[in-house]
Structure 1
Amino acid sequence: MTHIPDRLSILQISDSHILPNPGETLLGIDTDHYFRAVLEQAFASEHRFDLILFTGDLAQHPGRSNYQHILNTLEAYKTPCVCLPGNHDDYELMQEILNTELVNCRKQVFLGDWQIVSLNSQVPGTPDGYLSNQELTFLEQCLDAHPDRYALIAMHHHCLSVNSPWMDTMMIENAQALFAIIGKHPNVKAVTFGHIHQAIELDAGSVRAWGSPSTCFQFQPASTQLVVADTPPGYRLIQLSADGRLESEVHHLPEPLTGLKTDAQGY
C-alpha cells in the first residue's frame, strides 16, 4: 500500500512478547530481534507514519527492563506511539515507563478528522478479555463528544470469533456491549485488535474488524488448539481518509523464523 500524502498513516504492531534479558528466547525465537526487524521494514517501506498503534502483549514477563527497552527502541523512530495493555502486560508499569511525549498509553488520540480510542480489555491474572463499565463509558463519552470525527477503536483482545475454539475462549466476554455502543455511532468505521497472532478481517456489519499479526510467532488459523505456525512476523498498515474511508493491508517479513519450536505446548 503506497503512502498517499493526504491520508493519515498508522502502523499497527502487536504481541511482541519482549523478554527481560537480551538474547532470551520464547518458543525458541528471539522476540526482540523480530520486533526490531518489523519496525525496520515498516519504516523502510512507508517512510513515515502519523501514529504507531501497539495493541498489547508488549512484554512476555513484564518488568522495567522490558518496557525501558521497548521505549528506547520506539523513541528512535521519532513517531508518536500509543501502547495498549495485553493479558501478559503490567499496565501500571507500562503507564509509568511508557510515559513520554512520543511513546505513551494515551487512550484518545486525534488525527485530522479522526479519533483513535484505545480500550483496556485486560482481566488481570487471566488471559481473558473483558471491557469494564469504565472502559465502555469512556468509549461512549469519546464518541458522543466528537460526532464530527470518524473513529477507529483499538483493543488487545478480539471482539468477534476467529473460528479457533481455544482462542475464542479468550475473546472479549461482553463484546455485545461494545457493538451496542458502536451501533449508535455511525462515525465508528473500524475496530482493530491483537492477541490472536494472525492477520484476519471479520464481518462486523457496518464497521470493519481487523486482527493484526504478531511481531514474533503466529498461531495457525482455525485451529482447535494452540498450534504455532511458521508464518513470518508481520504488521498492519492502516490509512485513514478525510471522508471516512479506510484502507488496510498486512505485511510480513521475508525471512523465515529461526529456531521456532512449533511443537510447544504453551507460551
Structure 2
Amino acid sequence: MYSLDSDDTLRLVQITDTHLNGPEDGHLLGMKTLHSMRCVLDVVRTERTQIDAILVTGDLSQDGTETAYQHLHDALIPFQCPVFWFEGNHDQPEPMQAVASGTEHLNRIIRTQHWQLILLNSQVEGAVYGRLKKDQLDLMEKALKERPDLHTLISFHHHPISMGSAWIDRIGVKNGDEFCSLIRQYDNVRAVLWGHVHQESDQMIHGVRFMSTPSTCVQFTPGSEDFSVDSLPPGYRWIDLHADGRLETGVSRVEGIEFEIDYSVKGY
C-alpha cells in the first residue's frame, strides 16, 4: 500500500498503450511510439501544472524488452510525481519488474485522505484477452472492505464492458460481468478506468463512471466490426478526484503534428 499526499483534490494523469520498443525508432502500425508518447507528454506539461500521480495502464511495451520499460521510466522522471504501472497483454512481467525495482511503480493500492486507487492485473499470459483472477478480485474486495470511507477508483488494462465493437469486445475482460456484479456491492466505488481499446469512452452505469482512454500512439476506430485504425491523434486523460467523491475528467490530444500510420495492417 502506498500513501499519497494530496490536498482536497487528487489530480491524476492517465497515459496508456504506449507500446514502446527497445530501439528508439520502434513503431506500431508505422507510428514511432516513443516519439508519439513524447509528443503527448509535451501536451501534458503544457496543460497540467499540478499532477499528484501518473497512471500508465498497460501495454507499456510492444517488444517486452527491459530497454522499452527504461524509456518509459526515464520519460516520466521530469514530472516529479509518483508513477504507477501495471500489465497489459503485450507486457513481459520480468523486464517490467526489473526496471520498476526500487520505485513506487508496481504498488497496487494507493491511498490519500479521501480516495483510494486499486490497480489490478488483468493479463492472461499468452493471450490478448484479459481476466481478473481470484487473487485480483480478492485484493480489490479486501481494499474496499478495509476502507469503506474512501472513494475508490479501480483500474486495469482490459475493458470490463462492451465497447460496441465486435473485434474489440472479443478481447476484453472475460469475467467482466463478475467484476461489475462485485463492485455493485460496495457503495464507495466511484470509477473504473482502463486502456487496451485505443479510444475514448465515458459512461455512467449504476452510479459508477466507466472510462477508456486514447493510446499515446495509434487509435482504433470506435464501433468497428473488424480491426480498423482511426485517424485521430494520440492523447491522454486527466482526472481530478474531489474530496466529496465528485470526478472531473477530460481527454486531450496532440494537435498540429502529422503521424505516419500504416492503414494496410490488419492487426497489432
TM interval, short-chain normalised:
over 0.9
Report matched runs for 1:40-51 at 5 Å: 40-51=42-53
Report matched runs for 1:1-267 at 5 Å: 6-101=8-103, 103-267=104-268
Distance in 2, matches of 1:240 and 1:259, equals 35
Q: Which amino acid aligns with 1:156?
A: H
Distance in 1, matches of 2:28 and 2:256, equals 18
Is this contact kept in 2: 1:120–1:131, CA < 8 A?
yes
Runs of 4+ in 1 over 3 A off after TM superposition: none
Q: Which amino acid aligns with 1:104?
A: H
Q: Which amino acid aligns with 1:189?
A: R
- Which range moves more in the overlay, 178-187 or 252-261? 252-261
Kindly state the Cα deviation for residue 40 of structure 1 after the two structures are TM-superposed. Answer: 1.6
SS at match of 2:149: coil
Kindly state the Cα deviation for residue 230 of structure 1 after the two structures are TM-superposed. Answer: 1.0
TM-score, scaled to structure 2: 0.94
What whole-Å deviation, never above 9, does each CA across 1:60-98 have from its counterpart, x for those lacking one?
Answer: 011111111111111222111100100000123212212
Gaps of 5+ in 2: 1-6
What whole-Å deviation, never above 9, does each CA across 1:97-117 have from its counterpart, x for those lacking one?
Answer: 12343x511111112300000
Is this contact kept in 2: 1:230–1:257, CA < 8 A?
no
Kindly state the Cα deviation for residue 180 of structure 1 after the two structures are TM-superposed. Answer: 2.1
SS at match of 2:13: strand
Distance in 2, matches of 1:105 and 1:169, equals 28
Distance in 2, matches of 1:257 and 1:168, equals 29
TM-score, scaled to structure 1: 0.95
Gaps of 5+ in 1: none
Kindly state the Cα deviation for residue 24 of structure 1 after the two structures are TM-superposed. Answer: 2.2
Q: Give the number of equivalent residue pairs.
A: 262
SS at match of 1:105: coil
What whole-Å deviation, never above 9, does each CA across 1:109-142 have from its counterpart, x for those lacking one?
Answer: 1123000000100001010110000000000000
What whole-Å deviation, never above 9, does each CA across 1:204-257 have from its counterpart, x for those lacking one?
Answer: 222010001100010000000111111000001101010011111111111344
SS at match of 1:70: helix
SS at match of 1:191: strand
SS at match of 2:171: coil
The structure-2 alpha-carbon separation of the partners of 1:134 and 1:257, relative to structure 1 and needing over 3 Å to count, comes to farther
Distance in 2, matches of 1:92 and 1:178, equals 27
Kindly state the Cα deviation for residue 11 of structure 1 after the two structures are TM-superposed. Answer: 0.2
Is this contact kept in 1: 2:233–2:259, CA < 8 A?
no
SS at match of 2:23: coil
Is this contact kept in 2: 1:220–1:227, CA < 8 A?
yes
Distance in 1, matches of 2:243 and 2:156, equals 23
Is this contact kept in 2: 1:131–1:174, CA < 8 A?
yes
